[in-house]
């Protein structure tokens, strides 16, 4: 069984300041972990993924996430927020390597960027 | 990059009718496709996994007779909501996986918003 918890339903930051979206996971296997972003009226887009290689994963648009097994966390960060980052972000876990497995989604974090 | 399309993007139907939603992988062959459901302001929930040429695997609590899934080819999976009711109103999203060894990324369609009156 696997699950993922996104600790904040809403995060509000000012443009140009750092972003931190928190995610903790639970998995019986060595998990694959993902962050997806969903802009209004658009499909899901993969930001980055961890699949047991480097623990610090760099993604698109300046986002990165660090896999910390001891803390069962996979927090998403960005050094400087941009207005276009405003969206819904989902932390996702897939068990047993992620192949042909459905994904388990967190409840999402709504990121608000203040001008 | 890999593109997944869904059709229609939005559908409104009367209670009791059936609605078919198509999910296509446009530039790759998808051995496995997934169907998700997203309620307003909530996360996605996996409904079923479909493999080309075989019966879909449904998640617990999902009625297989109500949500018919057909994966007839490597580029097309369909979800039919039979005898739809207002509680079936939701956002349905499909995803497709290439199935290449070591490449486990799923590509998502833009979603279909179903409103049952």
Per CB-CB distance under 8 Å, the chain B contacts of A51 are: 104
Write the pLDDT tens digit of every residue in A57-71. 999 999 999 999 999
CB contact under 8 A, B43 and A90: yes
pLDDT of residue A90: 93
Peptide bond into B8 cis (omega under 30): yes
CB contact under 8 A, A107 and B43: yes
Average pLDDT along chain B: 88
CB contact under 8 A, A102 and B111: no
Q: What is the DSSP letter of B59?
A: P
Chain B segment 87-116 residues within 8 A of A by beta carbon are: 93, 95, 97, 99, 104-106, 108-111
Write the pLDDT tens digit of every residue in A18-43. 999 999 998 877 788 999 998 876 67
DSSP symbols for A60-102: GGG-EEEEETTTTEEEEEESS--GGG-EEEEEEEESGGGTT--
State yes or no: pLDDT of A102 exceeds 90: no
What are the CA-CA distances from residue B106 to residues A6, A101, B32 (Å)?
A: 21, 10, 9
pLDDT of residue A2: 78
Spatial distance between the Cα atoms of A88 and A9, rounded to a whole number of angstroms: 9
Q: What is the DSSP letter of A44?
A: E
- Select from B6, B46, B52, B104 the residue whose CB has the most chain A CBs within 10 Å, as the one to mutate to test that interface: B104
**Cβ pairs bridging A and B (under 8 Å):** 51
Average pLDDT along chain A: 88
| Residue B35 at interface with chain A, using a CB cutoff of 8 Å | no
CB contact under 8 A, A105 and B49: no
Residue among B43, B108, B109 minimizing CB distance to A106: B43
Q: Alpha-carbon dihedral of residues A36, A37, A41, A42, nearest 10 degrees?
A: -60
CB contact under 8 A, A105 and B110: no
CB contact under 8 A, A102 and B43: no
Question: Is the Cβ–Cβ distance between A106 and A6 less than 8 Å?
Answer: yes
């Amino acid at each position: 069984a696997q699950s993922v918890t996104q600790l904040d339903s809403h995060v509000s930051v000012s443009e140009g300041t750092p972003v931190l979206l928190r995610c903790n996971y639970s998995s019986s296997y060595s998990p694959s972990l993902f962050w997806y972003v969903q802009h209004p009226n658009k499909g899901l887009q993969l930001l980055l993924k961890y699949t047991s290689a480097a623990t610090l994963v760099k993604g698109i648009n300046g986002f990165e996430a660090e896999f910390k097994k001891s803390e069962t966390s996979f927090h998403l960060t960005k050094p400087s927020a941009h207005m276009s980052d405003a969206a819904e972000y989902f932390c996702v876990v897939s068990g047993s390597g992620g192949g042909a497995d459905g994904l388990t989604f967190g409840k999402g974090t709504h990121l608000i960027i203040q001008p | 990059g890999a593109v997944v399309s869904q059709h229609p993007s939005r559908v409104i139907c009367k209670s009791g009718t059936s609605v078919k939603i198509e999910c296509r992988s446009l530039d790759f062959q998808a051995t496995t496709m997934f169907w998700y459901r997203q309620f307003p302001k909530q996360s996605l929930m996996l409904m079923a996994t479909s493999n080309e040429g075989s019966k879909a695997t449904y998640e617990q609590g999902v009625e297989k007779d109500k949500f018919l899934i057909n994966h007839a080819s490597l580029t097309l999976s369909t979800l039919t909501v039979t005898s739809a009711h207002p509680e079936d109103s939701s956002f349905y999203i499909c995803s497709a996986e290439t199935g290449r060894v070591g490449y486990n990324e799923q590509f998502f369609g833009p979603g279909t918003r179903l409103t049952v009156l």
